[in-house]
A = this chain, B = another copy of it.
Amino acid sequence: MKVSFPLILVNFKTYMESLGQKGLELAKAAERVSYETGVCIAVAPQTPDLFRLTSSVGIPVFSQHVDPDEPGAHTGSVTPESLKEAGVSGTILNHSERRLRIDVIEEAVRRCSSLGLLTCVCANTSLSGRAVASFSPEMVAVEPPELIGSGISVSKARPEVVGDTVRLIREVSRGVHVLCGAGITSGEDVSAAVKLGAEGVLVASGVVKANNPIKALLDLAEHSVQR
């Protein structure tokens, strides 16, 4: 369940196509493609599905969000401890559909790190990407919100966003892996991202809503290694 790069992180969002039993089947498809290609694929299901997936697949499972609250009287919070206990490998943070306060991001990265949970912090701009890299998460994923779900990939439509983020983050940190996302649907999009310096992609509807998710994942995985 170790995460390696290049990484394809599949965000299940709250789509019906990736919920419950269907989510489990999608995770198994991702597992199969990961084993066949040797490329690391991680899946991020809805929170109530986390345990169901970690119990059944051997690839890394991520949460879509975490609250940095301590154990105690925090009704409704999803704590890092609860993710750890559920066998989760890490979490997405600050996705454009779930933006966070800057102090909450810092605290969440710190709390996750202390428990051995990986963090992938999203950013809508390259400057914002550099900003969150200050907190030393394992990954920063840059995603221009206007391209999310558009089918027009960031790596082809706005290559400078990816390139700038890679460059700016290198200025403050060597250890942070840069991913990119928004509109990624094909292997070509992944190739373009990798050429720009990204070490992986965040993908959602491009896989979840694909007619043939296995084929879509194979295409992404095969193009994630630069030749």
A interface residue numbers (CB < 8 A to B):
11, 13-16, 19-21, 46-52, 63-65, 69-79, 81-83, 85-86, 88, 92, 94-106, 123-125, 127-128, 130-132, 134-135, 148-149, 168, 171-172, 204-205
Contacts and interface: CB of A to CB of B under 8 A. Distances in A.
**3 A-B pairs with least C-beta separation:** A65-B76, A76-B98, A20-B85
A92, A97, A123 interface centre (most CB from chain B within 10 Å): A97
A52 to B, nearest CB: 5
Contacts of A100: 101-102
A113 to B, nearest CB: 13
A129 B157 CA distance: 32
B131 A48 contact: no
A132 B106 CA distance: 12
A130 B134 contact: yes
Contact of A19 (B16, B50, B81, B148): B81
Nearest to A204: B73
A50 B172 CA distance: 38
Contact of A82 (B49, B92, B130, B132): B49
A13 B82 contact: no
29 contacts: A11-B75, A13-B74, A14-B71, A14-B73, A14-B79, A15-B71, A16-B71, A20-B86, A46-B78, A48-B50, A48-B86, A49-B85, A51-B52, A52-B86, A64-B76, A73-B97, A73-B148, A73-B204, A75-B92, A76-B97, A99-B102, A100-B101, A100-B102, A101-B101, A102-B132, A106-B131, A128-B135, A171-B172, A172-B172
A73 B205 contact: yes
Residue among A96, A106, A123 with most chain B CB within 10 A? A106
